[in-house]
Structure 1
Amino acid sequence: YFSLTCDNETCVYDEVIGPNLQRMSNLEKLALYLAIDYDETFIDGNYLMKNIISHMPHLNEFIFNIRSIISINNLTYLPSNDDIQRSFIRFGNHKIISCVDYFPNQEIGQCHIYSYPYTLIYYENITNNFPHGLFNCVKMIELFDERPFEHEFFIRIAQAFPFLEDLTITNMEAQQQKSDDNNRHFSIIEYPYLATLHLLRIHDDYAEQFLLNTKTCLPNNIHLMMDYDVLQRVTQNLTRDATRINYSKVEKLSLHHKVDLSRYL
């Protein structure tokens, strides 16, 4: 049995990790948890079959969770999620989940593949293309996209991760579906186990998403991390009635403030 976990993105898979795996010809069980910064192609079923499985004739159990990131600058063909799913045909009855995203602003693509059921306690870089599922083991997630996260997306997140404790959101795009303080159109979302909420690189709409009591019911004793200016705008200097209830549940507040260094020069 061999297990390899690399939390940070690695760019030495072909030079270091791959060749060492291919030497383990007697391996019977393998677990890989990797984020790979690649040049031109996603890691898919064909790649795993050719470069890993074919070198391990005794392998009878393969658990994996792999995120590969590529530059899309000079690519003429961008694989779809259906393309990635078809690459796992030779994996038989094993359930494999895939999710493909492209981020034009950053000029990168991301492909996340994993064997189901999901076994990690964290799930990173979740986008609007997040596949349905139930992830009881996951305690920590990160949300990122260049498209806005709407209220319905957060409903899906709350349902998929019922024991979520730590949530980070990175999204600078404004929501398209708005509501005012008195609008009851949206169902109120609950995160009963949420303890830490990171709202540092966000549009103001996502601060409203979690601080307005018409959208979200936060648990007590939460640790909130966010930008000072965003907090001031969204809570109207802590005078906005619709944010009072959720803000009162914040036990610890970590504020980040952008400093204008030019005035000190």
Structure 2
Amino acid sequence: MLSFQDNLPNLKCFSLTCDKITSQYDTTVLPLLRRMSHLEELTLFLHILGGSTFISGTHLANEILIHMRQLHTFIFYIDSLNGIVDPAVRISADDIERTFTNVKYGQVACMVDYFGSNDMIYRVFSLPTKFNRLERITNNIPNIVFNSVTHLKLQDEHPFKHEFFVRLARAFPFLKILSISNLRSPFWRFDEIYLRDKDLCSIIEYSHLIFLDVKNANPYYIEHFLNETKTHLPCLTKLTVLYEDLKQVTENFTREEMRRNCGGVKQLFVERSIVCPEYIYRYFPLLSV
């Protein structure tokens, strides 16, 4: 019988996917991986909470890969949520990417986001991406196409502008589920007015989006996504939204430019039970009675 400290010599391929955040990386995950000395293929998908370990290329090489001499395939996505010790010190994505110069298992990318003065989250992952979900994504998206990502949660203290959603559609071409958490609407400085007017000329299409969750979003974003002069959602069938916000942006379910994107919705989720008037069913003709 093997103990928890024994080597695992017959293990050639291992995949560890944790959708929930864990604080056990140092005490559980690392010791487990170090037992796999004959591993040839490794896949890691981890969300780490705090801890003393900073996930970098140097860390992965010295703490994991050095124990796997036969490893030839390493696919990973690791994000870590950490408190900020010194607000004056700001680690950038370039800082982290430079630590991967000695990792020989393909291209690597990094994303770093700061939330206020207390928290930061950084993500390191191999390219091309293999994971299907990203959370707490801010305005700071890299110039990468995430073909594998179908589930996305946006969250930022700063507003999302139309230009951001243009980049978002390009970066996530196969997005199916989108959640937006942002209570701030955009503000354009006087010298940015031309950008706002330019935005009105470009319609964004999310060709595969079936589920939109804007219950934690400023009404601006509800209007932005449902207004066909700004966004085209040909596959949208599920919508989660606050009823009063929906009523406001559709002008009590009368705005014509909102009908096209609402017309395919089959499931409408609001914060409380309501008896839908007939005019709502005319606005959402595919809703189940």
Same fold (TM over 0.5): yes
CA distance in structure 1 between the partners assigned to 2:24 and 2:35 by the alignment: 17
Task: Report the structure number with the largest CA radius of gyration.
Answer: 2
The answer on whether the counterparts of 1:139 and 1:163 sit within 8 Å (CA) in structure 2 is yes
CA distance in structure 1 between the partners assigned to 2:46 and 2:169 by the alignment: 25
In the superposition, relative to structure 1, how do residues 25 and 152 fare at CA in structure 2: closer, same or farther (>3 Å)? same
Percent sequence identity over matched residues?
40
CA distance in structure 2 between the partners assigned to 1:163 and 1:84 by the alignment: 28
In the superposition, relative to structure 1, how do residues 5 and 220 fare at CA in structure 2: closer, same or farther (>3 Å)? closer
Q: What does residue 247 of structure 1 align with? A: 262
Task: Kindly state the Cα deviation for residue 18 of structure 1 after the two structures are TM-superposed.
Answer: 0.9
Unaligned regions of 5+ residues in structure 1, if any? Answer: 259-265
What is the TM-score when the length of structure 1 is the normalising length? 0.88
What is the TM-score when the length of structure 2 is the normalising length? 0.81
Matched, 1:185 2:236: no
Which of 8, 20, 26 aligns to 1:14? It is: 26
- Residue identity matched to 2:60: L
The farther-off stretch of 107-116 and 37-46 is 37-46
RMSD: 2.3
Q: What does residue 139 of structure 1 align with? A: 150
Q: What does residue 49 of structure 2 align with? A: 37
The answer on whether the counterparts of 1:170 and 1:202 sit within 8 Å (CA) in structure 2 is yes
The farther-off stretch of 143-152 and 133-142 is 133-142
In the superposition, relative to structure 1, how do residues 32 and 184 fare at CA in structure 2: closer, same or farther (>3 Å)? closer
Q: What does residue 136 of structure 2 align with? A: 125
Task: Kindly state the Cα deviation for residue 241 of structure 1 after the two structures are TM-superposed.
Answer: 3.4
Task: Kindly state the Cα deviation for residue 103 of structure 1 after the two structures are TM-superposed.
Answer: 0.4
CA distance in structure 2 between the partners assigned to 1:72 and 1:186 by the alignment: 41
- Residue identity matched to 1:234: V
- Residue identity matched to 1:148: P
Count of aligned pairs = 255
Q: What does residue 228 of structure 2 align with? A: 213
Matched, 1:165 2:176: yes
Q: What does residue 235 of structure 1 align with? A: 250
Matched, 1:68 2:80: yes
- Residue identity matched to 1:132: N
Unaligned regions of 5+ residues in structure 2, if any? Answer: 1-12, 274-289
Task: Kindly state the Cα deviation for residue 257 of structure 1 after the two structures are TM-superposed.
Answer: 4.6
In the superposition, relative to structure 1, how do residues 158 and 102 fare at CA in structure 2: closer, same or farther (>3 Å)? same
Task: Kindly state the Cα deviation for residue 189 of structure 1 after the two structures are TM-superposed.
Answer: 0.8
Which of 49, 62, 66 aligns to 1:50? It is: 62
Matched, 1:5 2:17: yes
CA distance in structure 2 between the partners assigned to 1:143 and 1:256 by the alignment: 20
In the superposition, relative to structure 1, how do residues 255 and 11 fare at CA in structure 2: closer, same or farther (>3 Å)? same
Q: What does residue 10 of structure 2 align with? A: none
Q: What does residue 166 of structure 2 align with? A: 155
The farther-off stretch of 234-243 and 154-163 is 234-243
CA distance in structure 2 between the partners assigned to 1:199 and 1:154 by the alignment: 14
Q: What does residue 127 of structure 2 align with? A: 116
Task: Kindly state the Cα deviation for residue 186 of structure 1 after the two structures are TM-superposed.
Answer: 3.5
